[in-house]
Structure 1
């Protein structure tokens, strides 16, 4: 599957404590871009209309609809630019550098105006406890291009493995996408059954958004770069909603994975994957074993929902019912 499996340049070191300030600032800037997409895009189930996607150079909104045509915003973490481009070929490039969130916000909104794209967003960050309005935030300004590039390189490899894992499921499954609120790359599988009403309570996120996102039973896995709570390091996670009674006691792989009582999620440190002989295999073991813990614990109809992992150029075999 992988041409880069085990290559340390593809799976870079990403110690959170060395780019903490840059990571926090980048999350806030990504929220500005995500909210621009949100302000123009019809609601899609589970908030899938707001996410960003990994690209060969960074993160993208994908095409955002306008009354006439579309536009797109791309983070380029190779040349360190933010590119705003309309379907009529007009384009504005904004350097990514040490710059306050407030200045970035004003610059981006001015660029949209130059492109003739009228946009208003809610300036308050989401899913962050101590928040400052974007236009007033002069506290967050760090930008370390080396660590931003490392983060992107890690996302490229993780996205590739997540996409491969996704091929083994024919039930409802999310795209592999990046949530700017929680600042994580995620993929989610669904049993097809309704879930109990979520209690909400996510910091600075309306309960109605959370409840719509968790309207159905899920097994969800993802990656975040660290910070916020008991995991102050980059890690993979996997959780189930609602959590089955036997979920936390399941034996999952690989060695190094554990259940966090505080987060109510299985956790696998990024370093365990990065330093493994085969990072791909190690990460897939975590994804598969934690999914099985969720699906078996909640009695999902696995025979109807699963299929063999995909092969290049080989259609999935469908037998007569």
Structure 2
């Protein structure tokens, strides 16, 4: 048996220059929304929209098992073989190639494959959390797919998931899974204080205000990884608190991190983590220091909530 070579440290934390793959990133964002909305259609509502995210897998991003009638199924983006795999519990499956094609073409292919397998595919075609969005079935402009950079993005998600899971394990209170929200296109984990929060103001593009208010119904300290977008073209780790306690923006964090007053979040460049002597230590320091600021300034019951 031939044993594949392991990656070097540089490969484990791959370079992720947003401008080099921004068109592919925008297209992939919309493709994940299509698959995420299929999961949303078939899953029972769970608090804080925990029934809608995707999850990082050993090959890409997956819906995980969607257990429903008349049949259970799973959809996975495979960023190694570059295919979308739709599998049902009976053993039948359809694989669609991931390649440069429009969002509308991808939507048609996915819908046809689901119909062939007997799975309902009647999703709402308007993208979420994006201003000036075009319905999936009409979007012919987003059509890029760079397999090299998509694979790099997935590898960055793998590393981020590993460290975020280590951070999550240190908390005894209510905490989300480490999951990938296709609306905002970010990997996230959220800790809760257990207390109710003031109503969220809403105003997220193409997202009902009641969804945002339910998501932020209780006090949170949230963090994660985001590849960037056209308005902020830098892959970054982020952290924020809702509601934001007084003095949070002045919290002591690692030197490479800073508070962005426009986003109302702390940001740590992915590049700083990737090139650090100990990427895990730097990222954990960022996650712990931003949480500690939210919990201390927000008067959380830390003795009860922390391991």
TM-score normalised according to structure 2 size = 0.97
Structure-2 residue corresponding to 1:86:
88
Relative to 1, partners in 2 of residues 1:115 and 1:5: Cα closer, same or farther, differing over 3 Å? closer
- Checking the alignment, whether the CA contact within 8 Å between 1:41 and 1:64 is kept in structure 2 is yes
Structure-2 residue corresponding to 1:33:
35
Structure-2 residue corresponding to 1:300:
300
State the distance in 2 between where 1:249 and 1:118 align. 49
Structure-2 residue corresponding to 1:315:
none
The answer to whether 1:131 aligns with 2:138 is: no
Aligned ranges 1:159-308 → 2 under 5 Å: 159-229=161-231, 231-253=232-254, 255-307=255-307
Unaligned runs of 5+ in 2: 1-5
Structure-2 residue corresponding to 1:316:
none
Report the CA distance between 1:65 and its aligned residue.
Answer: 2.3
State the distance in 2 between where 1:6 and 1:214 align. 40
Q: Deviations over 1:7-66 (max 9, x none)?
A: 111000000000000000000000000000000111000000000000000000011122
Structure-2 residue corresponding to 1:144:
146
State the distance in 1 between where 2:8 and 2:80 align. 22
- Checking the alignment, whether the CA contact within 8 Å between 2:200 and 2:216 is kept in structure 1 is yes
Report the CA distance between 1:6 and its aligned residue.
Answer: 8.4
Report the CA distance between 1:5 and its aligned residue.
Answer: 11
Report the CA distance between 1:69 and its aligned residue.
Answer: 3.3
Q: Deviations over 1:170-225 (max 9, x none)?
A: 00000000000000000000000000000001111110000000000000001110
- Checking the alignment, whether the CA contact within 8 Å between 1:112 and 1:118 is kept in structure 2 is yes
SS in 1 for 2:193: strand
Q: Deviations over 1:63-109 (max 9, x none)?
A: 11221331000000000000000000010000000010000000000
- Checking the alignment, whether the CA contact within 8 Å between 2:222 and 2:239 is kept in structure 1 is yes
Unaligned runs of 5+ in 1: 308-321
Structure-1 residue corresponding to 2:22:
20
State the distance in 2 between where 1:226 and 1:167 align. 27
- Checking the alignment, whether the CA contact within 8 Å between 1:25 and 1:141 is kept in structure 2 is yes
State the distance in 1 between where 2:237 and 2:208 align. 25
Report the CA distance between 1:242 and its aligned residue.
Answer: 0.2
State the distance in 2 between where 1:265 and 1:37 align. 29
- Checking the alignment, whether the CA contact within 8 Å between 1:219 and 1:291 is kept in structure 2 is yes
- Checking the alignment, whether the CA contact within 8 Å between 1:51 and 1:61 is kept in structure 2 is yes
Relative to 1, partners in 2 of residues 1:210 and 1:6: Cα closer, same or farther, differing over 3 Å? farther
Aligned pairs, number: 302
Q: Deviations over 1:230-256 (max 9, x none)?
A: x32100000000000110111112x11
SS in 2 for 1:178: strand
RMSD, aligned α-carbons = 1.2
The answer to whether 1:97 aligns with 2:99 is: yes
State the distance in 2 between where 1:195 and 1:306 align. 20
- Residue range with higher mean Cα deviation, 116-125 or 5-14: 5-14
SS in 2 for 1:121: coil
| Structure 1 ranges of 4+ moved more than 6 A | none
Structure-1 residue corresponding to 2:3:
none
Relative to 1, partners in 2 of residues 1:100 and 1:190: Cα closer, same or farther, differing over 3 Å? same
- Checking the alignment, whether the CA contact within 8 Å between 1:16 and 1:226 is kept in structure 2 is yes
